[in-house]
Amino acid sequence: MKALLKRVALVAVSLAAAGCAAMDAGHGAHHAVSQLVFIGDSNLDIGRASTEREGDTQDGKVVPPNTVGRRSSNAEILPEFLSSRLGLKQANYAWGGATSGMTNIIGGDGAPDLRNTGLLAQMAEFEAALGGKPADAQALYMVMAGSNDLAAVDKADQAAVDVAIAGAVANLRGAIRKLDALGAEFIVVGTRTPRPVLSEHDRAADEPSTDAKNDAAGRQLNVAIRKLVAELDAELGADVEVYDFYADIRDVIAHAEAYGLSPYSADPANYCTAEGRSDCSRLINYDAAHKTTAVHAILADKFIERFGLSAQ
């Protein structure tokens, strides 16, 4: 957390000079942010994938960052809530279906221009946009990927799960190191969100329920992500932090009614996308992999509180 400590130290010095009490550093310390930069998958994509798939998907060009279209939710998602609540511009490079590498799991024959829109491809796009200039040191950079690396993996094959997670972690490590090298000082890495049938195990092989193995595999990925972030925070000059989507969504699930939502159900009939459903304003699951805009709004509040965010 070196970048954060430097900022807090500067604030403390200024306050001391003014005769004020010094502020304590640590969890929730204040971050004044200039802009938001998102690099990742459908949990951050505000419309690039849907716009590309619905438009001319074979022209050799991809829609630019910040393209707004259908999301993997019923309305706005986390980046939009953070942008509006903090009054900050966002630069959103995310693509629904992005893996942690170069590829995209929805970039098939019907959408060839999506094939190479994974996390590492987005990093290359971001670096090219800098045009040789350093990254904005006062921006918040959020990275989220790895879930789609597990998408086609047989969750009953623990060795295959292990290989996929190791690959995702290696790619995330490379992306975060690159951001640090480009000049980013505040990098947040998101964990995988819960799958509808919940598990309490951190390995798919330890989960007896076939239906819950997907969630267990995600939990294993999240353990690896948290470990990676701790390592990189110690290694790099940037302040590298985790935003634990999984933990915060599990909190929403456990206390759904307190958040104004309906009691949790993993039944597909209670997905927002279920046939015939017209109102999902109190639901948690948008589909089998994503959450509703109501949940994203709650996550935005938690995110802002977690990092003590404000606009510069």
Average pLDDT, the chain: 91
pLDDT band at 29 (very low <50, low <70, confident <90, very high): low
* Residue reference for tokens 């980046």: 79
Residue-range domain boundaries for the chain:
33-311
The Cα–Cα gap between 76 and 93 comes to: 16
Say what the pLDDT of residue 10 is: 31
Say what the pLDDT of residue 281 is: 97
What is the mean predicted confidence (pLDDT) over 137-160? Answer: 98
* Whether residue 73 has pLDDT greater than 70: yes
Say what the pLDDT of residue 31 is: 77
Can you list the alpha helix ranges (DSSP code H) found in 131-281?
Answer: 158-182, 213-235, 245-254
* Whether residue 8 has pLDDT greater than 50: no
- For domain 33-311, the CATH architecture is 3-Layer(aba) Sandwich (3.40)
* Whether residue 17 has pLDDT greater than 60: no
The Cα–Cα gap between 304 and 312 comes to: 14
If DSSP codes are grouped into helix, strand and coil, which group holds residue 152?
Answer: coil
pLDDT band at 13 (very low <50, low <70, confident <90, very high): very low
Which contiguous run of DSSP H or E holds residue 207?
none
Say what the pLDDT of residue 259 is: 98
Say what the pLDDT of residue 300 is: 98
What is the mean predicted confidence (pLDDT) over 230-250? Answer: 98
The answer to whether the CB of 246 falls within 8 A of the CB of 191 is yes
The Cα–Cα gap between 141 and 68 comes to: 19
pLDDT band at 1 (very low <50, low <70, confident <90, very high): very low
Side chain identity, residue 100:
S
Say what the pLDDT of residue 12 is: 38
pLDDT band at 3 (very low <50, low <70, confident <90, very high): low
* Whether residue 22 has pLDDT greater than 50: no
* Whether residue 61 has pLDDT greater than 50: yes
The Cα–Cα gap between 67 and 92 comes to: 8
pLDDT band at 9 (very low <50, low <70, confident <90, very high): very low
φ, ψ for residue 187, nearest 5 deg = -120, 125
Kindly report, residue by residue over 87-143, the tens digit of the pLDDT. Answer: 999 999 999 999 999 999 998 878 899 999 999 999 999 999 999 999 999 999 999
Say what the pLDDT of residue 108 is: 81
* Whether residue 296 has pLDDT greater than 80: yes
Our CA angle for 26, 187, 76, nearest 5°, is 105
CA distances from 102 to 108, 127, 207, 280 (A): 14, 15, 31, 34
Beta strands at 239-243 and 31-33: parallel, antiparallel or unpaired: unpaired
* Whether residue 23 has pLDDT greater than 80: no
Our CA angle for 174, 304, 37, nearest 5°, is 40
Kindly report, residue by residue over 270-290, the tens digit of the pLDDT. Answer: 999 999 999 999 999 999 999
- Note if the pTM is more than 0.75: yes
The Cα–Cα gap between 98 and 17 comes to: 49
